[in-house]
Amino acid sequence: MTTTKASGKKATYIRHNQEYKGEALKLAADLGIAKAAKQLGLHESQLYAWRKDSEHAKTVSDREATLAAENVRLKRQLPQQAEELSILKNAATYFAQQLKRGTNT
């Protein structure tokens, strides 16, 4: 936990590190927000904000994991799609040649 002074103000603000916030949120989960805030000397709103930020960070990491899995799937699918496209192009060329031969004779 580090303390920083707000510029131009007489009040001192305390900036808590992530480890402290995590421990405070664990305590709040066990005791409840109100009791934990009182025990830690924090405002309840601060614990609510930390909890919201923590949940948002989890949601973002879940979203990133889903996107990473999707990228892996698409990278595997890409060569297969390229091969199928090549086969279709060859088939189209073959049938176009057959049509030309059929109209010329």
Instruction: Look up the pTM and report it.
Output: 0.52
* 48 Cβ contact partners less than 8 Å away, ≥ 6 residues apart: 33
Would you call 51 exposed, middle or buried from its count of C-beta atoms within 10 A (0-12, 13-18, 19+)? Answer: middle
User: Coil, helix or strand for 14?
Assistant: strand
The mean pLDDT of 7-25, rounded to a whole number, is 82
pLDDT band at 8 (very low <50, low <70, confident <90, very high): low
Residue 2 confidence (pLDDT)? 47
> DSSP class of residue 42?
-
Indicate whether 104 pLDDT > 80. no
Give the highest mean pLDDT range of 8-12, 18-22, 60-64: 18-22
pLDDT band at 1 (very low <50, low <70, confident <90, very high): low
Indicate whether 3 pLDDT > 50. no
Domain interval for residue 25: 2-104
What's the structural domain count of the chain?
Answer: 1
Residue 70 near residue 76, CB atoms below 8 Å: no
Question: What pLDDT, in 10s, does the model give residues 39-67?
Answer: 999 999 999 999 999 988 888 888 899 99
